[in-house]
A and B are shown apart, each in its own frame.
Chain A
Amino acid sequence: KNEVEQSPQNLTAQEGEFITINCSYSVGISALHWLQQHPGGGIVSLFMLSSGKKKHGRLIATINIQEKHSSLHITASHPRDSAVYICAFHQGAQKLVFGQGTRLTINP
């Protein structure tokens, strides 16, 4: 069983819809990252959080350390949000363990 499970694996939505991507993990962690991988392959860090909620523009990330669950929300989705979204948690102090990613497609 993977230590990190993301759901859904694939998500297709219409422009403007509210999007939620989930990340569950099976071990105790101290912090979690959300990454965005563009269709061209480049990876951008979106959030690093260890508790509560963070917001950046239309993106919101939440984490519940006790429930071992994090979510990434996108409000007013747009076709340019189409990408693969990856969660990753810290294993020990300096290693990252990644989820499989969620492929998001936003249709105009």
Chain B
Amino acid sequence: EAQVTQNPRYLITVTGKKLTVTCSQNMNHEYMSWYRQDPGLGLRQIYYSMNVEVTDKGDVPEGYKVSRKEKRNFPLILESPSPNQTSLYFCASSRQGLYNEQFFGPGTRLTVL
């Protein structure tokens, strides 16, 4: 089944404890992206990747890192999480950029205490 998976789905952590949210797709897509969704602010793009080893900032990259060492994986790294990073996170992928259908992962609900 073609899908985008994220892990974990739910996470409660404490300020400063490094964490990684994984994202994997099995559709051989070149484009992958991370978004966060907050009440009143909607969805906002964090980082995106056009292909392996090619990443770029979205609108809200501060406090996040990404890497794209393999085509299928695009992990989101929070080196020192803070409470303002409490949010619902979505990973998405598409065949080639934004002119193709976007496939979203199920979301990761992160709480930073």
Contact = CB atoms under 8 A, between A and B. Distances in A.
A41 interface: yes
B90 interface: yes
A90 B101 CA distance: 13
A33 interface: yes
A101 B42 contact: yes
Interface of B: 31, 33, 35, 40, 42-45, 48, 50, 56, 58-59, 88, 90, 92, 97-104, 106-107
A88 B101 CA distance: 13
Interface in A32-47: 33, 35, 41-45
Interface string A66-108: 0000000000000000000010101001111111110000000
Given A86-B42, A86-B43, A94 B97 contact: yes
Contacts of B59: 95, 97
A45 B104 CA distance: 8
Contacts of A19: none
Contacts of B103: 45
A96 B45 contact: yes
Tell me if B's interface is mostly helix, strand, loop or mixed: strand
Contacts of A42: 104, 106-107
Contacts of A35: 102, 104
A90 B98 contact: yes
Interface centre among B50, B56, B102 (most CB of A within 10 A): B102
A4 B88 CA distance: 21
A31 interface: yes
A96 B98 contact: yes
Given A94-B50, A94-B56, A95-B58, A48 B42 contact: no
